[in-house]
Every structure is written in C-alpha cells, then in structure tokens.
Amino acid sequence: MAERTAQGAGVLALVRSQLREYTGALQRVATQVLSDPPGAARATIVELAERSGTSPASITRFCRAVGFDGYADLRLALAGETGRAAQAAGWSEDIGRAIEPDDPLERVLGQIMAADTQAMRDTAALLDLAEVERAADAIVNANRVDIYGASGSALVGTEMQLSLNRLGLAAWSWLDVHNGLASAALLGSGDVAIGISHSGQTRETVEMLAEAGSRGAVTIALTGYPNSPLAELADLVLRTASQPTTYRPDALSARHPQLVVLDLLYIGVAQRTQAQII
C-alpha cells in the first residue's frame, strides 16, 4: 500500500507519527521542527541545520523523507499549517507541558483535552479514507470477521466486535493467542481479520493476523506505524496517531483515535448494509 505523503496529510502529523522511526540527524531535524514549527517555517535551510545540529544535506534528506522535493516546499507547508493552528489554538496551549503531581485537575483536564484533540486531528490528517472504504466493503462481504488484539487493544477490539454484532454480522474478538490462532486457521477467502496494535509490533497480534492471511482472509491492520510488522503483512492499513503525556504513554494515548477510526469503519459498514441496529 502506498504511504500518504505530507502533501496529502498535515506535515506535523506525519512527522509526529514517524518520529520513532527516524534516527541520527533525521531525528534531530524532526525534533527541532516539532519543537518550533513557526520558527522552522521562517528559517533558512542553513539556520534550521544549525538549530538542529545537522547539515543542509540532512535537511534535504528530511524533506524527502516526509514527501517533499525540497526545503522550499516544506517551509510553505509549515507556514500554512502553523497559520491554521494559530487560528484554532483552543486547547493546544498546554500540550507540551509535563503534568506535575500537585497540578490541579483543571489544568490536567486542559492538557488531556489538548493531547487528545491533537491526536484526533493528526489521525484525521493521516487516515487514508480509501483504505477505510475498502475495509468496509470487505467486512460487508465477509462470512465472518476475526479481531485480534492484546491488553488495551483487546478492549478496543471487543468494542468493534459488539458494534458489528449489532448489525447482525458474525464477528469475534480474540484476546487469547491460542484461541485466536485456532480461529484464524479456520478462516478462508470470504473472511476478514483485523489486527489492532498501536506499535504494530505486538507479537501475538502479528502471529494471529499472519495466520489469517495465510488462509486467504482479507487482513486489516489498525496501527500508528505503517512500516511495522503488522502493517507490512496486512492487505489494508488504517493509521492512527497519538499524543503522549505524563502518565499516558504512547499506546494508552492512542485508544481514543483507535475508537474513532473503528467508529468510522463501523458506520461505513452500517451504511452499506442499511441494517437495523440490534
């Protein structure tokens, strides 16, 4: 599947979602851009290289990594995005501040809202709606749907199972890898399997989805990392973003975006079936 580039999604959302995958100079450039987007939009290529402790060649490589031909295109995109963000500041003022043990809940609420709002916006920017459409078509035509996940992702999967059951569709969510593998081995070309893992590296989920794919099922990955093992083996990839805060690590902060994407997929299925919700 072709990965969305910065021209088709918010550049800051794309950089945030891929930050963990960058190394060395590229990671330093990405960190500098995220720490001061307006400053990056105003800086020359030499200035940004100095601020990030890299070189103009590294800046050029970073531009290409996020889908731009050169630095001028990146600056233009950053200027447009930071301008829109300034108009819709809302909850975003506290997003980068650490939560302290003695912070009042009013301030904590603001930071949680800021983080979740940013994660939702990033997810909307990164999500390939054509992939969602294809996933909905596959589910509507499926004989049965298996859903795999571990820990918190398993809870998200159970919610999706119940939603599909309300439409009268045969869906099962598997938390135990042994039962999940047994079920996956029974799938065929008329079935669908969904694997949920924010990191895309949860071994049990990868194993179950791989088994389902080997039996001919259409495989769907819900993950924040398009180059992860889970995404690489899936037929369709639904991307989500996260915005970690103190006490809420990366995977935990991805739960709301995951639910939103699965809600969108559920509604797409409901539109196609025009089913009465049970």
Tell me the per-residue pLDDT of 251-270, one tens digit each, with 9 for 90 and over: 677 888 999 999 999 999 99
If one looks up domain 129-273 in CATH, what number appears? 3.40.50.10490
Query: What do you get for the CA distance between the two ends of the chain, in Å?
Result: 35
Q: 22-26, 82-86, 91-95: lowest mean pLDDT where?
A: 91-95
**Is residue 5 predicted with pLDDT exceeding 60?**
no
Taking the CA atoms of 173, 179, 180 and 183 in sequence, report the sign of the dihedral they define: negative
Tell me the per-residue pLDDT of 57-84, one tens digit each, with 9 for 90 and over: 999 999 999 889 899 899 888 888 776 6
76: tokens are: 């233009």
Rounded CA separation 253/243 (Å): 6
Residues in the chain, how many?
Answer: 278
Contact 121, 89 (CB under 8 A): no
Average pLDDT, the chain: 87
CATH class as words, domain 6-126: mainly alpha
Q: Which residue reads 């973003």 in tokens?
A: 241
What is the chain's alpha carbon radius of gyration, rounded to the nearest angstrom? 20
| Helix and strand numbers, DSSP H then E, in the chain | 14, 5
Q: Assign 274 a pLDDT band (cuts: 50, 70, 90).
A: confident
Q: Assign 145 a pLDDT band (cuts: 50, 70, 90).
A: very high
**Is residue 187 predicted with pLDDT exceeding 90?**
yes
Sequence-ordered alpha helix ranges (H) in 188-254: 203-214, 229-233, 250-253
Task: Name the more confident of 42 and 171.
Answer: 171
| Residue 13 burial (10 A CB sphere; 0-12, 13-18, 19+) | buried
Q: At CB < 8 A and 24+ separation, what contacts does 270-275 make? A: 270/167, 271/136, 272/136, 272/137, 272/140, 273/140, 273/167, 273/168, 273/169, 275/167, 275/168
pLDDT score for 94: 57
- The domain segmentation of the chain, as residue ranges, is 6-126, 129-273
Rounded CA separation 29/153 (Å): 32
Question: What is the rounded average pLDDT of the residues 177-194?
Answer: 96
Strands across the sheet with 145-149, in order?
A: 171-174, 145-149, 192-196, 218-223, 236-239
* pTM for this model (two decimals): 0.71
